[in-house]
Amino acid sequence: MNAPQLLQGIPFLAAQPARDGAHLVLFGCPFDSTISFRPGSRFGPQAIRAVSDVLETYCPVLDRDLEDVTFADVGDLPLPPGDSRAALNMVRHLAAEIHAGKQIPAGLGGEHLLTLPLVEAAIEAHPNLVVLQFDAHMDMREDYLGVELSHATVMRKICDIIGPQRILQVGPRSGTRAEFAAANRLGNLKTIRVTGAEIAEWIGDRPVYVTVDLDVLDPSVFPGTGTPEPGGVDFATLQIWIAALAGKQWVGWDVMELSPVYDPTQVSAVVAAKVVRTMILASLARN
């Protein structure tokens, strides 16, 4: 497979446009074909970049600045609407390339299904990684209306690869009785009352992949998403959770499920961009 041409636009605030020399490589994954309720997260990556320059480069919570680190934003993959397998291959291929260059891949979604190839590529490079999932939903279904590759099954697919013990789910407040029973048995489910220190302790010094399904936030904070679920976390707490992971060995991350059309105030895009800024700074805290 030839490398597809990425579509480049205004890069994320303070990012360089080319991969060379960067410690972290952002790229957009505009795809939403398996969304079950409200599609539109394909427009997430562009919306995040478009509002990113309303932010400052400095983060007072981490006391770090985007200008202290070196990272690239290489644009969006041209993912084909309606062809999940092709889309997943393209994402996995690019992530693998970035791992090969000893850089951290960071995907901007797009739907949560795209976390699957990102984690697969990360496992290839870091077989003993653990996965930290911030999410309102379990995403542990076997299939959705008969479709196996779906935003609703993504964590089940990952679980099938690395086992439930290496996944920590923070924030789920919606799922089937069976899903909750299983998760409670394993103890890998944390409500929004968990602290950053507890999360950091669970990770320990293992390499970690962090996936943020932005619907972990309460819909009052983040209405611009496909399946809003009332009862979520506020922004400040999510920011503190992420900040608590500065210094860990990050091996990849993603921020998924901004669907800007559902939030005419544009606030959801600003929230997503500020989460991305925090993720960049936390994941590069060792660099």
Q: Does 249 bind its own copies (CB under 8 A)?
A: no
Which residue from 90, 103, 93, 124 is spatially nearest to 26, judged by alpha carbons? 103
Kindly tell me which of 100 and 261 has the beta carbon lying closer to its own copies: 261
In the complex, the smallest distance separating the C-beta of residue 251 from its own copies, rounded to whole angstroms, is 27
In degrees and rounded to multiples of 5, residue 170 shows phi and psi of -115, 120
In the complex, the smallest distance separating the C-beta of residue 185 from its own copies, rounded to whole angstroms, is 14
Q: Does 220 bind its own copies (CB under 8 A)?
A: yes
Considering only 224, 245, 252, 284, the residue that binds its own copies (CB under 8 A) is: 224
Q: Does 36 bind its own copies (CB under 8 A)?
A: yes
Residue for token pair 């939403």 = 32
Kindly tell me which of 7 and 186 has the beta carbon lying closer to its own copies: 7
Kindly tell me which of 46 and 115 has the beta carbon lying closer to its own copies: 46
What is the spatial distance between Cα 154 and Cα 257, in angstroms, rounded to a whole number?
A: 13
Beta-ladder partners of 147: 144
C-beta of residue 80 within 8 angstroms of C-beta of residue 257: no
Kindly tell me which of 10 and 100 has the beta carbon lying closer to its own copies: 10
What is the spatial distance between Cα 3 and Cα 19, in angstroms, rounded to a whole number?
A: 14
Q: Does 142 bind its own copies (CB under 8 A)?
A: no
Rg (CA), the chain: 17
One-letter amino acid for residue 65 of the chain:
D
Which residue from 176, 150, 165, 172 is spatially nearest to 36, judged by alpha carbons? 150
Which residue from 236, 250, 244 is spatially nearest to 198, judged by alpha carbons? 244
Q: Does 124 bind its own copies (CB under 8 A)?
A: no
Q: Does 65 bind its own copies (CB under 8 A)?
A: yes
In the complex, the smallest distance separating the C-beta of residue 115 from its own copies, rounded to whole angstroms, is 15
Q: Does 145 bind its own copies (CB under 8 A)?
A: yes
Q: Which stretch binds its own copies (CB under 8 A): 18-26, 74-82, 98-106, 245-253?
A: 74-82
What is the spatial distance between Cα 107 and Cα 42, in angstroms, rounded to a whole number?
A: 12
Which residue from 23, 202, 18, 1 is spatially nearest to 106, judged by alpha carbons? 23
Query: x/- contact string, 161-190, with its own copies (CB under 8 A)?
Result: ------------xxxxx--x----------
Q: Does 101 bind its own copies (CB under 8 A)?
A: no
Considering only 28, 45, 110, 223, the residue that binds its own copies (CB under 8 A) is: 223
Kindly tell me which of 103 and 115 has the beta carbon lying closer to its own copies: 115
DSSP-derived letter for residue 11 is P
Q: Is 214 exposed, middle or buried (0-12, 13-18, 19+ CB in 10 A)?
A: buried
Residues 6+ apart with CB under 8 A from 123: 129, 161, 162
Binding site for its own copies (CB under 8 A): 7-10, 32-40, 42, 46, 50, 54-58, 60, 63, 65, 78-84, 86, 144-147, 149-150, 173-177, 180, 218-221, 223-224, 227-231, 234-236, 239, 261-267, 270-271, 274
